């Protein structure tokens, strides 16, 4: 049952991200990735609200799985990254939190560059 909740939420979240992203990008134009920016920001806001409600006892474990892991996980994993950073900060782990943020951004960018390079080598 848990896996089904996550799968259903993930499918809905992915569809929501695609639909909202396409609409925002068509409206805003190609000059800036507004759709990704909006999805990441709104997903971070929503996971904060959902997980706080869950911590306060306002959501069942099943609702938390469906909403936080499934729906918002399919919508954007950036929301999980934001939540994990918050929990590190709340635990007084300032250095680890900033290491996580900077490491994720820098290594993520380095990884996409390496993958892009490799894709060019394999395809051409």
Q: What is the DSSP string of the chain?
A: -HHHHHHHHHHHHHHHHHHHHHHHHHHH-TTS-HHHHHHHHHHHHHHHHHHHHHHTT-S-HHHHIIIIIIIHHHH-THHHHHHHHHHHHHTT-HHHHHHHHHHHHHHHHHHHHHHHHHHHHHH-
Question: Would the annotation count 41 as a binding residue?
Answer: no
Question: Would the annotation count 73 as a binding residue?
Answer: yes
Residues annotated within the binding site for Na(+) are 73, 76
Residues annotated within the binding site are 73, 76
């Amino acid at each position: 049952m848990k896996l089904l909740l996550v799968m259903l939420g993930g499918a809905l979240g992915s569809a929501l991200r695609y639909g909202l992203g396409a609409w925002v990008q068509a409206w805003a134009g190609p000059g800036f990735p507004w759709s990704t920016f909006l999805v990441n920001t709104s997903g971070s806001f929503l996971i904060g609200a959902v997980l706080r409600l869950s911590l306060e006892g306002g959501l069942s474990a099943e609702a938390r799985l469906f909403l936080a892991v499934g729906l918002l996980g399919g919508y954007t994993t950036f929301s999980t990254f934001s939540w994990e950073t918050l929990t590190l900060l709340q635990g007084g782990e300032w250095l680890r939190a900033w290491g996580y943020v900077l490491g994720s951004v820098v290594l993520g960018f380095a990884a996409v560059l390496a993958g892009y390079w490799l894709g060019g080598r394999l395809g051409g």
